[in-house]
Structure 1
Amino acid sequence: MEVLNRHDTSLTEEGRFRLLVDAITDYAIYMLSPEGIITSWNTGAQRFKGYKPSEILGEHFSRFYLEEDRAAGIPERALATAAETGRFEGEGWRQRKDGSRFWAHVIIDPIRRPSGELIGFAKITRDLTERRAAENAIRESEEQFRRLIQGVSDYAIYMLDPKGNVSSWNFGAERIKGYRPEEIIGRHFSTFYTPEDREAGVPETALTVARAEGRFEREGWRVRKDGTRFWASVVIDVIRDDDGDVLGFAKITRDITEKMETQRALEQAREELFQSQKMEAIGQLTGGIAHDFNNLLMAVLGSLEILKKRMPQDLSLTSLVDNAMQGAQRGAALTQRMLAFSRRQELHVEPIDVSGLVRGMMDMLSRSLGPLTVIDTFFPVRLPTILTDPNQLEMAILNLVVNARDAMPSGGRIVLRASEESAPPAKSPLSPGRYVRIAVTDEGEGMDAKTLEQAVSPFFTTKGVGKGTGLGLSMVQGLTTQSGGRLFLKSKPGEGTTAELWFPVVVAERATETAADLPQREQIAPDGLRVLAVDDDGLVLMNTTLMLEDLGHTVFEAMAGSEALDILHRQPVDLVICDHAMPRMTGAQLAQAIRDEWPEMPILLATGYAELPEGAGMINLPRLGKPFSQAQLADAISRVVS
């Protein structure tokens, strides 16, 4: 304090500005005449560009630009932009006295008299290729330096005394932080810090580091006069006299909130893109696996079904076949979950009254819980109609209830409720509108943030080895997404978990139209048909033939599209059942060729895919999903043959 007092008599306001600029080492700060002639030069400028004041004063500032930039008139355009708009900012290559180049960030602000007359420009350049601590020296008059600092609007540049009290204040500081000079000069700079940072001693730490190391640089939240916060880039340089005693500190603050938010948005977009690509890749993989798996299950289930019908009625043998069929059916259910996750399952949508659907499955839910768990339901008498697959919705609700039961190994209470909502949760991808929300809440131990984030990831499970596939929530998510809705999970450790299914409300006209479009089933299946079965998989073809013959039909077999067309030219046929995924000629292509010659021929497309690939054509053909039972085959035939 004594050192500062020793200089108080000689430090006018202009002197403090001069000391301030003289202490800045990371910025080239100098003035230009209206024509662009250099009229002042600081140490930072000399360090960046290599010119001494005697070599550069009176020269035009365009000599720092590359030859091609000068030829393009870039220096003149920069001054014109600053004079017309009040500011120029840009980045580009600049060259030093020795001809070497550096990448510079440049700001040019016009300096005007109170009358509005342009008297020059304040120019600040920062070398972004290398940041080094150095001292800036200002060689011009104190009035020029004062105008220079006051002309800077994008940086808060001010001085602190050794105790941290504000002793000068520029226009940029007023613009960024909201205080007029008379409101802030004399107050401690910790005023700009958040309460938590002040409590942690961050302001004092900054000055301590600056004293010890000569410089302090950090980013963090700061507070404006109106209480709003902004993300700031802060540099504090210590100011010393010739004896090394501390006179104060030079402080530069820049509001980089927009830059930070842009960076955060970019990182979020990258993460979302990565997740989208990952899920798409897994979806394609599971869809392909499901197709091959369905063909295998088709062979197993078909053979077992025919075997059971033809074998002697031996209870011991029948039970073994039943067990094998149940195992294969569980495999088919797993395949459906994989398809649901990859959003490639075929949904048989229809208008649904959620209240009625849940009431109809209460007995099944109660049997699934066991004696230690109770379930309470809170459903309105009527809810608006939604459009989805009722069987898949029942499976989704059952899955969520079983998950809730498993989260409470010692028992507890599960709440199942539904309600109409007029707006989706904040920051959700759902559009505004009317929704039906189905929520399942448990009293379990809950999930931490990391587990919650992974909960819907495929094959992730917390149930231990052999107790879960990790596809349950993925299946639920796939169903809601295909239905135009969304799955939301809410959970905290010790507070249980709530799973919410959001489905858009369907207006009555659309529901009626959609219901009318659903295929209507014939009650009586025709028999004695001549059926052409086409499949490139011999096992599947054999089982399909056995099922058809067992139903009383005459079957012609083909393992390729060309072979099927040859048969059609030789034999009268009442129905064609063909696989889609065949080499050389797909089922859809075969169907098109058949329709070209026999327009009225009934065709049933059997496929292990839940959806046909892009460009497959004939996507409106009646389809039979693999694996199918004999009853499902008979039912499909009754729907396509009148």
Structure 2
Amino acid sequence: MDTQNRNVRMTAQAPDATQWEANDDWARQWVASTVDYSVFRITTDGRIASWNEGGIRIEGYRPAEIIGQHFSVLYTDDDRRDGIPEAVMESARRHGRHDSEGWRQRGDGGTFWASVVTTALRDRRGEFSGAVQVVRDVSENRRSHEAVIESERRFRLLVQGVTDYAIFMLSPEGCVTNWNSGARRIKGYTEEEIVGSHFSRFYTPEDAAAGLPQRGLQAAARDGRFEAEGWRVRSDGTTFWAHVVIDAIYEDDGTLLGFAKITQDITERRQAHELLEKTQAALFQAQKMEAIGKLTGGVAHDFNNVLQVLRGNLELLENRHSRDVWSRERLAHAIDAVERGAKLASQLLAFGRRQALRPVVVNLAAMVRGTDSMLARALGETINVETVVAAGLWNTLVDTHQLENVLLNLAINARDAMPGGGRLTIELANAMLDDRYVRPLSDVPAGQYVMLGVTDTGIGMPPEIVERAFDPFFTTKPEGQGTGLGLSMAYGFVKQSGGHIRIYSEVGHGTTVRIYLPRSMDTAVDLLARHEHPVKVGGRETILVVEDDANVQSTVVDMLTELGYSVLKADNAEQALTVLRSGIHIDVLFTDVVMPGPLRSPEMARQAALLLPHLKILFTSGYTQNAIVHAGRLDAGVELLSKPYSQEELAHKLRYILGTPGEAIAATAGSGDTVQAGAVPVPEGPLHILVAEDDTDSLDAACEILQMLGHDAAKATDATQAMERLRARRFDVLLTDLNLPGASGIELAKQAVAVHPRLHVVFASGDELPDNVLFDFSHNRLRKPYAVNELDDVLRAIQRALHAAGR
């Protein structure tokens, strides 16, 4: 038993012993009638000598059952074993009174928590003559008390167990009075270090000096609650962004006891919110750029057709009137104006990511060093150029001709920002863009990049100008000194190349533009030298011009005729095929990419190649609309001459594609791949290919590529449909994904080979073929996404195999 509880003094007072001895009537009546107290007399030897109604109700004994028994029967077994009843009587005898609380035994065996007052009785001589015991059932009080204690214990455990919040109390003056484990974790102080200190030490020196802690307490005392966010300082001096709540604690009479303060570290939440805002801003910017890009791409197409008519006719006039100096000068001015318009259209296409790029794997160190003389002429003597190339520079895949234009534009912008001269630094280095950097950039994957940086010591730009720097036609230069397309062109080109571009600038401290181009693991190629050729490089071959714009068509026909070629013309793809089927010998099909009508130019070119296998095909366009350009790059084996082009450019391109077979031909700037001597000839004739793919977009794209490569393609969206196609006709190749509805690509291949034993199978999938599968038939693998040239190489190998087998 808890002895401390036994010694708690009972508030109710028992009847005075002298009154008992005096045997007053009112005392007897009170004792006999009271039911709230068990009141009984105990003899000197501990026997119960009387019993009242309260004893019957509280202790559960009737007078006949209890009178004469030793009063210890009312105590629990543990108390009797510990000698508690004897100790109570002895204490009452010595001191006259004994107060205690403890468990009591009822007559039915139950127990209750009792408040017991034992008062000694003495005779007239003062001798001890027994005792009176007053017992009250205080079980309900005990339960309430224990509930309060348990509640306080649980609350302490709860507060101490919270680690995500700093919870502590403040005195009315703002001194810390207690400290939980969350406060220790978040703020870094132990309870011994901080209790008694003023809570203002958690604020930054600037906030503390501004009186923020005191204003927080005043607001909480006035309004009952204060809530805020701000920087707070840990014990080690580091800061965190906190959400703070201060609640005022009052007595019932309105006296301020102090404050309860809760602090949460929300630094990560704040960073996430800032990241979300940056991501939303980046998304808005990307959507804006995409919308403007589509608009500018469409405008450039029509604009280039107009420029082509102007340029072609101006050059024809220039050739006709070359002896007239006055006419020649004005025609030259007009051609210069067309070139400026063509540059403008090219920049619009670059911004809209609609250029037909010819990327090659290069090491940019050689390219940048090769631009020294060009930059020196463009920048003048007042600008010092410094080139810094990091050791071990990685390779990248990029269209070097377009990148040179970007570098030149950036250098000219830097020159204009340094009117009094300065220093331009060109830097090349390897860079890693990690997940944290690219998180707000939806179109930039994390990984390894080659960084090209251009830094000037010019006047710099404020943030609002930096934000709009890539917008087309936005410029801070005076009217007539810039189109506002230089940075826009750089932005579009870098994005189309799969890279990232960023501007860092501060007013008065210059500007840095950094371009990040993805690293390539392939071997770099040597950049081909550019050669100058005379204008009149013509021939006697026959060229079929397919162009729906009558003015453009007429101009091109005249340009080719002047170069000595025999020229035929067609207004659309259907007319062109009619001419090709007529049996007339034609050497070159020169066609616009975008024309009206049901038959697309790539399909017309594919059919033309089937009709005349020797035919050379040259596309031209002011805007390709992804017909022969995919992922920003020209399809493999496709030759394109972008509008507007000069007669010289047209002449060079024609001689390039009509070059002597089997002899290596050096490509001019912007031309196609070099023809390799000694290449193994591929047998003529298309392959009949069945494409099994459940994704309709991928299926359509694969069939279009196959048709462009000159093959016959049929479609199947699942294994069942594929087997139906295979039983209906003969195919040379099955091009199948590994994952198909109904049956896998492997199961389909086995069934297909059983029907056509000479069938070649090409597995094209993003998944790897299982290592434990054995194949007893000819097969190849293509890992998605695959390039057109990779598919073409596989099909050419199959053609050679079929030819060797005597197909």
Query: Who is 1:222 aligned against?
Result: 232
Query: Who is 1:262 aligned against?
Result: 272
**Structure 1 residues 155 and 486: CA distance shift in structure 2, 3 A:** closer
Query: Who is 1:290 aligned against?
Result: 300
Give a deviation string over 1:100-138, Cα, whole Å, max 9, x none. Answer: xxxxxxxxxxxxxxxxxxxxxxxxxxxxxxxxxxxxxx9
Q: Which 10-residue stretch deviates more, 201-210 or 279-288?
A: 279-288
**Structure 1 residues 355 and 480: CA distance shift in structure 2, 3 A:** same
Residues 342-353 of structure 1 mapped to structure 2, 5 A cutoff = 342-350=352-360
C-alpha separation in 2, matches of 1:226 and 1:361: 52
Structure 1 residue ranges without an equivalent (≥5): 1-137
Give the counterpart of 1:442 among 456, 459, 463.
456
Query: Who is 1:630 aligned against?
Result: 647
- Residue 581 of structure 1 and its aligned partner are, at CA, apart by 0.7
CA contact (8 A) 1:369 1:405 kept: yes
Give the counterpart of 1:456 among 457, 470, 474.
470
CA contact (8 A) 2:593 2:624 kept: no
Query: Who is 1:471 aligned against?
Result: 485
CA contact (8 A) 2:535 2:648 kept: no
Is 1:511 aligned to residue 524 of structure 2? yes
Is 1:335 aligned to residue 366 of structure 2? no
TM-score by length of 1: 0.69
Give a deviation string over 1:189-235, Cα, whole Å, max 9, x none. Answer: 22322333223221111011112222211122333444444332222
Query: Who is 1:326 aligned against?
Result: 336
Give the counterpart of 1:641 among 629, 654, 658.
658
Is 1:246 aligned to residue 256 of structure 2? yes
Residues 550-569 of structure 1 mapped to structure 2, 5 A cutoff = 550-569=562-581
C-alpha separation in 1, matches of 2:184 and 2:428: 52
- Residue 363 of structure 1 and its aligned partner are, at CA, apart by 4.5
- Residue 173 of structure 1 and its aligned partner are, at CA, apart by 3.4
C-alpha separation in 1, matches of 2:256 and 2:400: 78
Amino acid at match of 1:466: G
Query: Who is 1:41 aligned against?
Result: none
CA contact (8 A) 2:587 2:614 kept: no
Give the counterpart of 2:385 among 376, 382, 390.
376
SS at match of 2:173: coil
Give a deviation string over 1:245-265, Cα, whole Å, max 9, x none. Answer: 322112222333343333333
Query: Who is 1:21 aligned against?
Result: none
CA contact (8 A) 1:377 1:417 kept: yes
Give a deviation string over 1:45-78, Cα, whole Å, max 9, x none. Answer: xxxxxxxxxxxxxxxxxxxxxxxxxxxxxxxxxx
CA contact (8 A) 2:425 2:456 kept: no
Amino acid at match of 1:625: S
C-alpha separation in 1, matches of 2:536 and 2:485: 38
C-alpha separation in 2, matches of 1:312 and 1:175: 87
Query: Who is 2:512 aligned against?
Result: 498
Is 1:533 aligned to residue 545 of structure 2? yes
**Structure 1 residues 166 and 614: CA distance shift in structure 2, 3 A:** farther
SS at match of 2:479: coil
Amino acid at match of 2:591: C
C-alpha separation in 1, matches of 2:172 and 2:635: 82
Give a deviation string over 1:458-488, Cα, whole Å, max 9, x none. Answer: 3221113332221111222333444455434
- Residue 608 of structure 1 and its aligned partner are, at CA, apart by 1.1
- Residue 304 of structure 1 and its aligned partner are, at CA, apart by 0.7
C-alpha separation in 1, matches of 2:396 and 2:482: 30
Is 1:580 aligned to residue 593 of structure 2? yes
CA contact (8 A) 1:302 1:544 kept: yes
Q: Which 10-residue stretch deviates more, 264-273 or 328-337?
A: 264-273
Query: Who is 1:193 aligned against?
Result: 203
TM-score by length of 2: 0.56
C-alpha separation in 2, matches of 1:165 and 1:140: 30
Query: Who is 2:414 aligned against?
Result: 404
C-alpha separation in 2, matches of 1:220 and 1:432: 35
CA contact (8 A) 1:439 1:498 kept: yes
- Residue 177 of structure 1 and its aligned partner are, at CA, apart by 3.4
CA contact (8 A) 2:546 2:571 kept: yes
C-alpha separation in 2, matches of 1:256 and 1:472: 43
Is 1:415 aligned to residue 405 of structure 2? no
SS at match of 1:556: strand
Is 1:235 aligned to residue 213 of structure 2? no
Query: Who is 1:161 aligned against?
Result: 171
Query: Who is 2:617 aligned against?
Result: 603
SS at match of 1:510: coil
C-alpha separation in 1, matches of 2:390 and 2:167: 67
CA contact (8 A) 1:238 1:248 kept: yes
Give a deviation string over 1:403-454, Cα, whole Å, max 9, x none. Answer: 1221123x1223344444465699365755473x544433322112222232
C-alpha separation in 2, matches of 1:218 and 1:544: 73
CA contact (8 A) 2:297 2:354 kept: yes
- Residue 285 of structure 1 and its aligned partner are, at CA, apart by 1.8
C-alpha separation in 2, matches of 1:231 and 1:365: 49
Give a deviation string over 1:171-190, Cα, whole Å, max 9, x none. Answer: 44344434443332212122
Amino acid at match of 1:636: K
Query: Who is 2:737 aligned against?
Result: none
**Structure 1 residues 547 and 356: CA distance shift in structure 2, 3 A:** same
Query: Who is 2:561 aligned against?
Result: 549
SS at match of 1:162: coil
**Structure 1 residues 461 and 542: CA distance shift in structure 2, 3 A:** same
Amino acid at match of 2:175: N
Query: Who is 2:152 aligned against?
Result: 145
C-alpha separation in 1, matches of 2:203 and 2:472: 45
SS at match of 2:524: helix
**Structure 1 residues 144 and 418: CA distance shift in structure 2, 3 A:** closer
Amino acid at match of 1:604: L
CA contact (8 A) 2:545 2:568 kept: yes
- Residue 325 of structure 1 and its aligned partner are, at CA, apart by 0.7
Residues 23-102 of structure 1 mapped to structure 2, 5 A cutoff = none
C-alpha separation in 1, matches of 2:595 and 2:612: 21
**Structure 1 residues 295 and 396: CA distance shift in structure 2, 3 A:** same
CA contact (8 A) 1:354 1:383 kept: no
**Structure 1 residues 142 and 235: CA distance shift in structure 2, 3 A:** farther
Q: Percent identity?
A: 42
C-alpha separation in 1, matches of 2:363 and 2:310: 37
CA contact (8 A) 1:575 1:603 kept: yes
SS at match of 2:179: coil
Query: Who is 1:74 aligned against?
Result: none
Q: Which 10-residue stretch deviates more, 400-409 or 412-421?
A: 412-421
CA contact (8 A) 2:170 2:176 kept: yes
**Structure 1 residues 614 and 203: CA distance shift in structure 2, 3 A:** farther
CA contact (8 A) 2:594 2:624 kept: no
C-alpha separation in 1, matches of 2:543 and 2:343: 29
Give the counterpart of 1:594 among 604, 608, 612.
608
- Residue 140 of structure 1 and its aligned partner are, at CA, apart by 6.3
Q: Which has the higher contact order (CA 8 A, sep 6+)?
A: 1
C-alpha separation in 2, matches of 1:268 and 1:590: 47
